[in-house]
Chain A
Amino acid sequence: MADPLLNVEDLRTYFSTEEGVVKAVDGVSFKVDAGERRGVVGESGCGKSVTAMSIMRLIEPPAGEIVTGKVEFDGRDLLKLTEADMQQVRGGDIAMIFQDPMTALNPVYTIGDQLIETILLHQDVSKSEARDIAITALDDVQIPHAGKVMEDYPHQFSGGMRQRVMIAMGLSCEPKLLIADEPTTALDVTTQAQIMNLMLELAEQRNTAVLLITHDLGVVAGFCDSIQVMYAGSIVERGTGDEIFHNPQHPYTWGLLGSMTRLDESQQERLNSVRGAPPSLINPPTGCRFGPRCDFAQDICREALPILHQSQEGQKVACHRSDELDLKSIAIGATS
């Protein structure tokens, strides 16, 4: 098998605050192959975004720091690159789009300025060639009158259109990996679907790998080849979409799925929620971090931290009891 495009190993990113050290990402390892679309799912504050920011090395000391780990991209360890080399990677090999398109574009420069700036930075082209590339990029994200809107400012666009511009900007330099950090959270549902379809289409066309970060399982379902579920700074379960959705092995994944609204089920049923709140990342509970919120926790769960291992069902899971529990057959909500 070919080397993976992205190989993250034991990544740990800590933030120092007055209360103590926040272990936002605490030993995360995963691989993304070229062209693979990977979903990263979890509650707010579980370390999804910090993982992405760490890969891009956008965590700014002294507040936050990547303590240990390896982020191999295309055979190079990004954490060992010089700042100048890293600038070539950012926006060139790995592009990133963000949650709130309303504020992610600089209000005082035109769309064209901001697109051309990126292209000139990463491609050896003249200004007028860069302009043509920018117009093509805007065309690709289905913005009408691409040539004309180049002179427009971000405030003249709606949220959905701005996110299209962000995608155009991200893909204009043909990156191998696109990191999308909750790209549709700030958009209304119709626009969400349009943006996700657009991203799917473009990523497939160009064989771009995508790391889609979201807390919305619905968004991931139609988009990703594989999914990893994060909880309190580490990955608790990883598998294909089928495995995660139809045969969850970790009680947290199982709980998350239970909290989803489903159109194909009776409306009468109460939505389940995962009880409790995410643990403090400064003093995480001993043993399994999900233990205090888990309906199936036993003594071992309070003593030892489970590691991510191959389950009998195929996906990887970090749960002591995954093999004995048959979560599929337990009706969600039955225990609470």
Chain B
Amino acid sequence: MQNVITVRDLTKNYNGLMAVDHINFNVTKGEVFGFLGPNGAGKTTTIRMLTGIIKPGFGQISIMGFNIARDPIKAKQLMGVVPEMSNAYIELSAWDNLLFMADLYGVPKKTARQRAEALLGLFDLYDRKDHKIKNFSKGMKQKIIIAMALMNEPDILFLDEPTSGLDVQSARLIRDIVRKLNKDGKTIFLSTHYMEEANELCNRVAIINHGKIAAIDAPEQLKIRIGGLQRVEVSFNKPADISELSSIPEIINIRKKGDKLALYTNEPGSIIYKLVDYSRANNLEMVTLHTLTPSLEDVFITLTQEVGK
């Protein structure tokens, strides 16, 4: 597989604070690569270095063969960027924002108009094309920012928290568009806080914590490798006695989650029999019962706690 992003020994230090600490990874052509990490882990700093916005302290970044330090303009020409914060020009219309982006990327006028029309159609904003961005909702602003990043038809699209703070429908639309863009052959570098989003969209994810890469793999591989125990989630019609449940030998740990109990185990089948016996003995009725495998969130929590220690 062809690597479109190659990162070697990438490091950034801010006044003695190691924001990014000698990280290495590759992103292959056509994949959706998730970049996950808690706040302050070094995600945005890494994306800013990858997109040529800030210079690395040390290390190398290659974007489709172009070294970002030596050929920043050529490397940037191949990418589209959606930074974390909303940043279209609010005094300009949606149309003017798109054409301004086209001018910055040297897209010919006629092609720019055709692309702008197509993108406004794709994002369901064509009727608002002459309206100033300051009158747009947050979801509409985010759509126009993504459209701006697509005006140069980039090979690689960097999305930094693209669905952060959006309503359910807008977030879903953006996820659908990410899938469509990836299907059309674009490589996508996605930074997100939403584990379910990463799980749904990404071929591989990297988890960064305290500036270091804690793991890189496919989400399912990470769940098997790092996710830990399976769990049975159960809720009863009346409060259950946790101490009594703890005496079941197959249960390794119990966590209370709202009106549910999460029972961590390696033997979920056996636990279910014991729960039936327990509810009969205590005259309780099971309202819900689910067996769950480890989630990407479990992987994330495990890794970020380990590296953070």
Q: Does B bind A?
A: no
Interface residues of B (CB under 8 A from A): none
